Amino acid sequence: MTADRFARHHRVPGWNQNSLLRATVAIIGVGALGNVVAQILAQAGVGRLILCDPDIVEASNLSRTPLFRREQIGAAKVDAAAATLAAMAPGIELSPRQAALVSGVGLAELRDADMVIGCLDSRAARVRLAGRCGLVRAPWIDAGTSPWGGEVRPYLDADGPCYSCSLTAAERSIGDAPHSCANMAPAPAAGAHVAASSLVASWTATLALRVLMSLPVAARTIRIDGERGQAGLIEESRDPDCPFHDPIDPIPAHRRLPLSHRATVAELVRALEPESRILLWQPAMREARCLGCGHCDNSWARVERRPCPRCGEPLWPRTATSLRGAPPALRLCDVGVAPREILAVETPSGISAIELAHR
């Protein structure tokens, strides 16, 4: 059955079906670009896809997303995509994550994936993905559309230019905006259509497949201009002052803990040396305090942005960047720790890293 499905591939020079079947690709963003990239990789026979996106299917997605159906409006994008992919490519292993990148895919997963593909729609999200891929030297490809084309930017060599090298300090810092700034008015959605997103996604998938099969690629930015009918390569250079070139040291075996992201704070604390401070990659909501009557909701994961239940004044949220003071029964995933995350731990003798297991 598998042999039949891939019969036409065998006549493609250099095609190596087995290397695709063994490969894991993480697709970050399952909108218009991610739909087409996932569809192509699944049909080409990539063995395992991790799909990460926090959003749900909306009616306005349906003009550009071949994996979504009208009856899936309101469902998680990753679940809708996985359902269609499972029917289209039986035998593929799908790992849908309805979460933002930092909570959805751990650093050890990015490190161990054969390829990471960014199908994102904002610079802040790209900066975040570039930062995480840089921490574990993960090869990745960034795809982005313009009204009649777009760019495919491969970052395959951790010692070459990275996505952040071409940005100014101000552009990079957008990715660091704390969650409390998230109530700024969102930028209006850019105009987009299925021809441009399919074109860029197909080019991205072509590059990814060649890399997965160890075929040579031009590892430079490809700019696709559908208006003029042109595509060209753009040379980028590595900025020695770029702050994204500081990877985490390899994790020694004794720092790979037999605990998952579903472990509790108490279990993690027990596994570490005394006085360890567990640092988080993104701030966790620690408490919400009322400036009117002093009421304080300090339940961490369950802290809600709502008016004070006692006096109706707005509650002011406070965030934490470490798990110090967190309730012992709190699960790591409840504060946004991703599966197979690598976390920094601070002790009196310095900072080191620990790696969480899959289960």
Return residues touching Zn ion (CB under 5 A): 162, 164-165, 242, 244, 290, 292-293, 295, 308, 310-311, 313
- CB nearer Zn ion, residue 136 or residue 162: 162
Where are the extended beta strands (E) located within the chain? 24-28, 48-52, 93-97, 115-118, 140-146, 149-155, 221-225, 230-234, 277-290, 296-297, 315-322, 342-347, 350-355
Least spacing, CB of residue 176 vs Zn ion, in Å:
15
Distance CA 126, CA 120 (A): 7
Least spacing, CB of residue 288 vs Zn ion, in Å:
10
- CB nearer Zn ion, residue 225 or residue 313: 313
Alpha carbon 164 to its chain's center: 16
- CB nearer Zn ion, residue 196 or residue 219: 219
Least spacing, CB of residue 174 vs Zn ion, in Å:
16
Least spacing, CB of residue 287 vs Zn ion, in Å:
13
- CB nearer Zn ion, residue 93 or residue 157: 157
Distance CA 328, CA 32 (A): 41
- CB nearer Zn ion, residue 133 or residue 208: 133
Q: 85 near 96, Cβ under 8 Å?
A: no
Least spacing, CB of residue 310 vs Zn ion, in Å:
4
- CB nearer Zn ion, residue 20 or residue 162: 162
| DSSP secondary structure letters along 225-281 | ETTTTEEEEE-----TT-TT--PPPPPPGGGB-S--TTSBHHHHHHHS-TT-EEEEE
Q: For residue 112, what are the contacts with CB-CB under 8 A and spacing of at least 6?
A: 24, 340
Least spacing, CB of residue 247 vs Zn ion, in Å:
12
